[in-house]
């Protein structure tokens, strides 16, 4: 990782997340431009975070050094991928919710056979991981080379192009407007629909 990316990922996720919009994540023959992300903080700071109550075997990578993946199963069915941020031990991460496949379209189509249009290939956190070939075994993987690498855009998106709002599908206090930590590229067709938690 270059110095700019290292410096960014050492910051709390709420600062790093909007800068990751437009970044390219390369993985296993597919590259995705990130269009939707969510920030999660650490112990005692964020009731919607897996790290809220402290480290567990599941969340250990989230407490590790920045620049790694934290991958977990959602509802026991789908892998979701996060970029670990903040200094080691602080446990903040950015959930990668959606993106546009910009390289490896044929490979992404083979992995995502139910997508009717290319905009749906990585439109949602589970679809994104499938398109990139990310699974639970990649938990803790570095983003500094094979099989995964993260590349920042040459310049940050203009503030006018970034939409913020509450995180999607988060239950309890962490899903309220008090946590407007979902960041999307406004108007991008690959952004997933917002859904409040059913709980």
Q: Which of 74, 70, 85 is nearest to 138 (CA)?
A: 70
Q: Give, as one character, the DSSP assignment of residue 188.
A: -
What is the C-alpha to C-alpha distance for residues 120 and 123, in angstroms, rounded to an integer? 5
Sequence-ordered list of residues with C-beta below 8 angstroms from that of 75, at least 6 positions apart, any chain: none
Tell which residue, 41, 42, 25, 44, has the closest CA to residue 33: 25
pLDDT, residue 57, reads 92
Give the phi and the psi of residue 109 in degrees, each rounded to 5.
-65, -35
Predicted pLDDT at 199:
56
SS (H, E, C) 42-54: CCCCCCCCCCCCC
pLDDT value at position 188? 97
E strands present in the chain: 24-27, 30-40, 69-74, 78-85, 92-103, 144-145, 148-151, 162-165, 182-185
- Residue that the structure tokens 């952004």 belong to: 191
pLDDT on residue 1:
81
Q: Mind listing the domains of the chain with CATH numbers?
A: 3-152 (3.10.300.10)
- The reported pLDDT for the residue numbered 184 is 98
DSSP-derived 3-state class of residue 41: coil
Contact (CB, 8 A) for 122 and 100: yes
Distances (CA, A) of 196 to 47, 126, 171: 16, 17, 8
Q: What is the pLDDT of residue 97?
A: 97
What is the predicted pLDDT for the residue at 178?
86
Report the pLDDT value the prediction gives residue 149, as an integer from 0 to 100.
97
The tokens 């991958």 sit on which residue? 71
Per-residue pLDDT, 175: 77
pLDDT value of position 76: 67
d(CA 170, CA 166): 9
Sign of CA dihedral 8, 9, 13, 19: positive
Sequential pLDDT tens for the chain (199 residues): 889 999 999 999 999 999 999 999 999 999 999 999 999 999 999 999 999 999 999 999 999 999 999 999 986 678 999 999 999 999 999 999 999 999 999 999 999 999 999 999 999 999 999 999 999 999 999 999 889 999 999 899 999 999 999 999 887 778 788 899 999 999 999 999 887 765 5
Q: Which pLDDT score, from 0 to 100, does residue 139 have?
A: 97
């Amino acid at each position: 990782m270059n110095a700019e990316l290292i410096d960014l990922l050492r910051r709390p996720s709420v600062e790093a997340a909007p800068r990751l919009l437009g970044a390219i994540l390369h993985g296993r023959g597919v590259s995705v431009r990130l269009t939707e992300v969510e920030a999660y903080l650490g112990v005692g700071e964020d009731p919607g975070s897996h790290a809220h109550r402290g480290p567990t075997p599941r969340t250990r990578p989230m407490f590790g050094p920045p620049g790694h993946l934290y991958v977990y199963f959602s509802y026991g069915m789908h892998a979701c991928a996060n970029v670990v941020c903040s200094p080691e031990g602080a446990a903040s991460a950015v959930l990668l919710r959606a993106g546009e496949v910009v390289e490896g379209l044929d490979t992404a189509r083979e992995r995502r056979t139910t997508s009717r249009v290319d905009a749906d290939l990585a439109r949602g956190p589970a679809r994104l991981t499938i398109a990139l070939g990310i699974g639970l075994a990649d938990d803790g993987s570095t983003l500094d080379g094979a099989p995964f690498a993260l590349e920042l855009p040459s310049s940050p998106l203009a503030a006018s192009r970034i939409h913020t709002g509450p995180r999607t599908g988060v239950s309890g206090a962490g899903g309220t407007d008090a946590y407007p930590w979902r960041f999307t590229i406004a108007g991008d067709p690959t952004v997933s629909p917002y859904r409040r938690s059913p709980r």
